[in-house]
A and B are shown apart, each in its own frame.
Chain A
Amino acid sequence: MSDPVLRRLPKAALGALIARLGQTHTVRGPRVRDGAIVFGEVEAAEDLPRGWTDAQGPGRYRLEREGEAVFEGYVVGPDSPKRAHFPAREVLYTAERRADGKVGFAPVEATPGRTAWLGVRACDLAAERVRGAVFEAGGEPRPAARGREDLRVAVSCTKPGELCFCASTGTGPRAGEGADLVLTEREDDFLIEAPSEAGKAVLADLPVEPAEEGAEAWLDAAMEAAEGAMGRAVEMDGLPEKLLGRLDHPRWDEVAERCLACGNCTSVCPTCFCSTTESPVAISATGIGTVEGGAVEVGAGEAAQVRLWDSCFTEEHAYMHGGTLRPTVKARYRQWLTHKVGSWVAQFGTSGCVGCGRCIAWCPVGIDLTEEIAALREGEGELALPVLREAPLEDEDLVPSVAEVVGVRRESADVVTLRVKSERLAGFGPGQFTQLSLPGVGEAPISISGEEAGAIEHTIRGVGAVTKALCALEEGDELGVRGPYGRGWPMEALEGAPVVVVAGGIGLAPLRDALRKMVGSPASYPEVHLVYGARTPDDVLYAQEMLGWLGGPHFRLHVTVDRAAPSWRGHIGVVTRLLDEESVPEGARAILCGPEIMMRFTVEALGKLGVPDERIWVTMERHMECATGTCGRCQLGPYFVCRDGPVFRFDQVRALFGQEGF
């Protein structure tokens, strides 16, 4: 700590502290409301819950009268500063789509709250750092911006609660990092220290005096005693590998019997960050979303992009074209726990658990994650997956840029290629994707299928509301674009060896740009085989273009369809039937895109033909919304498909490939 000098603040001076904080900030601190201690506005010392204690147990929280302490009688309640920095519901931008097909987007800025948080605990400070790491990695500045001018007047816990285990997670009980002032409550006074410059400035105006000799030693002893007095303990060591290696542990079935999948744990967790977005249109000028600190006015006919707290316990969280990846409670609980105390470490360099115990208290049926972890530690199996995460994204704007449709080409009955002019998308790589949006309809991740005459092409199959609306666009219309996003095809790793490209259906679209580059550079890519399966001959994409590629001696085309009229002279059946020594030459590398089931059989067939996992790349598809790794939805074990993929080398994902719920 920068200033180890301890001072004494008489209890009677608490009002002076609150008044001093109130000169520059809105003071929010513990308040009794509806049977719990939550954060609320504090104007005087009398507002604080002096003489209250919280009796907490799994699924149980009761306030009782006991003692005279101001802070020490209780620990954390269901609320945390997360709500202020990462609101439960916020408008990211407003948007309009006019009758002439033009669109507009107006960002809603996050304004600093200037809140002085009185009585936050070490776990709350740790949680803010964890959230900071999450949003920083995704280049999402709003949560940090909201807290930038806040003050944090923390309390070190000398009396941890029944459900506390911050000593196990290394995040408490002593508050310091991230705090501007730290209080430790004693019977007659507080010890106070100021780790930050802002805290020192406040301290200078308070009636403090130097702490007595031995106060330092008293504090150390009190903290050590507190560490030993935690009601819960967890062995965190090795959890990422152990949990990922025990996906078939019987405990998951057992906890799934009790779990309600209601989302209370994730909602009270100070680090859970999963969110979703909605794109409502105001029918009348009544406004849509309310952001803490002011409502956003939305005019009639205008749209808004609203972000709201979601949970991995909802069905919709892992929803992909027609079904959810996690229909069972078991799969959802397993996703939550393997992420929270497991894969979080690979993603953000820290565990997602700060040991506050909120998820235990506020679970309506009292599921105790410390018990679940202990049970899961009893077992066999460990799995370590490589960390793929690269540098944080920089100021990744979630507000789309306006782009113009400069051409529309119909590829088949339900597939259209949109040609889009957009500077934002310049410099994309083959296999990357964008987020295309229409105000009031929504946003969808779409792969880039190439560039021609300065226009970036997206080949889209109209299946849902958004993709159907995109397919209906006409030349001259506008839409929103974000991107380019994700890790594309490994063009360098493919050089010099025969390349087998295996595509199923619309899966040819993300491969098209890579194919064009390879066909155009025979020196780098001496032998290219495209093995392509479509539903019917009419569904074959880019037929004319592919015929053109056949002119080069280094390109071979193998096509099969699921069904066809008798006049079809080509193959009928699955793509794997086209994989043989001829289409998969010795030393080949393979890149795959198609339905997961197709890729699974393809990988198997390639393996039999001598292509190892390390020379196969696949594109994974999961529910993506933000595309920046901050909405939490497209997780595949430790990976975010939007950031670490969508293209993965197969050996990196084999262990999770086809695994239920991942």
Chain B
Amino acid sequence: MGAGSEGSASGAGAKVRLGVFKLASCDGCQLQLLSCEDELLALTEHVEIVSFAEATSRPDDGGPLDLTLVEGSVSTEAQREHLQEVRARSRFLVTIGACATAGGIQALRNGRDVGELLRVVYAQPAYVDTLAESTPVADHVPVDFSLRGCPIDKGQLLELIGALLAGRKPAIRDESVCMECKRSGQVCVMVAKGEACLGPVTHAGCGALCPTFGRGCYGCFGPKEGAQVAALGARFEAEGMDAETRRRRFKLFTGWAPAFREESER
């Protein structure tokens, strides 16, 4: 059958102008784009990379962007300003990963005395410029879509770009990790092994990676819609977990997401 992306959002011939930016993050999520080895060449037929520091040294032309991927949380005043600039030139802004979507592992500092932390961690705290809290992108600018995960899933990234090119809704399902786990025929690690698994309250997208390897999900995709976190926490305790361990379970890469935060403070 023939090739092409007819009916695409970009119109005939015109390429989608892509920008990839980072705030406070490890770069792992944007590298997932470069990991799309089989699809990269095909993608460049549809996509023009305007700004992507990990991939090109060509200067950003500063013009409008059709698709913007933002990695990382807002951790400094400079990042907040940079984010505003990026939003202003973006048509469709997507946050990628746990940091951009939920504040990231660096949000563990939130709610604590940041000055005290600086003194403990850094030899020269005076050189460190930081906000008191690490916050998700959506706290600062409107976000059109979010890809979850630490890091994001390559398949979901391609699905998002493919859907944008075709002008359709991305098939990125806000369902539990259990749905993917069961579709792929895994045996439930919680029921069969007593592993504490966050899968039932966690947004799908990883393909149930951890349970596939016999361990419980630790929630790096963050809470799914309507996550029944307290009910799961209660089950953990009924199975013998102490309250402090339970709290820490929900305090990881997406611990600042409201549903998980609530459970880690309960």
Contacts and interface: CB of A to CB of B under 8 A. Distances in A.
A302 B2 CA distance: 7
Given A34-B187, A62-B192, A279 B200 contact: no
Given A78-B188, A309-B183, A364-B235, A281 B162 contact: yes
A444 to B, nearest CB: 11
Interface string A252-271: 00000111111110011000
Q: How many interface residues does chain B have, given as a range?
A: 35 or more
Main secondary structure of the interface of A (DSSP, over half): loop
- The 4 A-B residue pairs with the shortest CB-CB distance in the complex, in nearest-first order: A267-B182, A262-B200, A301-B3, A88-B183
Given A35-B187, A316-B175, A263 B182 contact: yes
Contacts of B176: 260-263
Contacts of B81: none
Interface string A498-531: 0000000000000000000000000000000000
Interface stretch (B57-65, B95-103, B129-137, B164-172): B164-172
A258 B225 CA distance: 16
Given A314-B175, A466-B168, A364 B197 contact: yes
A259 B162 CA distance: 35
A539 interface: no
Contacts of B28: none
B191 A267 contact: no
Contact of A279 (B39, B168, B188, B226): B168
Among B1, B39, B42, B175: residue with most chain A CB under 10 A: B1
A101 B6 contact: yes
A302 B1 contact: yes
B178 A263 contact: yes
A45 to B, nearest CB: 23
Contacts of A283: 39, 42-43, 158, 161-162
B2 A264 contact: no
A98 B183 contact: no
B4 A365 contact: no
A51 interface: no
A38 B182 CA distance: 13
B186 interface: yes
B186 A440 contact: no
B192 A286 contact: no
Contact of A278 (B5, B158, B171, B189): B171
B185 interface: yes
Contacts of A94: 1
B184 interface: yes
Contact of A98 (B6, B225, B232): B6
A281 to B, nearest CB: 5
Contacts of A20: none
Interface residues of A, number: 72
A365 B175 CA distance: 17
B228 A259 contact: yes
A286 to B, nearest CB: 5
A311 B231 contact: no
A264 B183 CA distance: 10
Contact of A261 (B165, B191, B226, B234): B226
A469 B167 contact: yes
B179 interface: yes
A329 B168 contact: no
A36 B168 contact: no
Interface in B228-254: 228, 231-232, 234-235
Interface string B137-175: 000000000000000000000110110011111010111
Nearest to A54: B192
A313 to B, nearest CB: 8
A104 interface: yes
B235 A300 contact: no
Contacts of A62: 192
A284 B161 CA distance: 12
Contacts of A648: none
Interface string A95-110: 0111101001010000
A36 B7 contact: no
A499 to B, nearest CB: 39
B179 A263 contact: yes
Contact of A83 (B161, B185, B232): B185
Contacts of B232: 260, 364-365
B171 A88 contact: no
A261 B201 CA distance: 8
A362 B188 contact: yes
Given A34-B214, A261-B226, A261-B228, A78 B187 contact: yes
Given A264-B200, A284-B38, A469-B7, A365 B225 contact: no
Given A89-B183, A283-B39, A59 B191 contact: yes
B119 interface: no
A310 B173 CA distance: 10
Contacts of A216: none
Contacts of B187: 33-36, 38, 77-78
Contact of A260 (B7, B225, B228): B228
Nearest to A37: B187
Contacts of B41: 284
13 contacts: A78-B182, A83-B185, A88-B182, A88-B184, A260-B201, A260-B228, A262-B199, A302-B1, A311-B175, A364-B197, A365-B232, A365-B235, A465-B169
A301 B200 contact: no
A309 B180 CA distance: 9
Given A106-B1, A260-B201, A364-B190, 10 more contacts: A34-B187, A36-B187, A63-B192, A89-B183, A260-B231, A283-B161, A314-B179, A366-B235, A441-B167, A465-B168
Nearest to A100: B6
Contacts of A83: 185
Given A260-B231, A262-B199, A281 B166 contact: yes
Contacts of B225: 315
A654 interface: no
B226 A329 contact: yes
Given A262-B200, A281-B5, A440-B168, A36 B159 contact: no
A106 to B, nearest CB: 8
A6 B191 CA distance: 39
A65 to B, nearest CB: 16
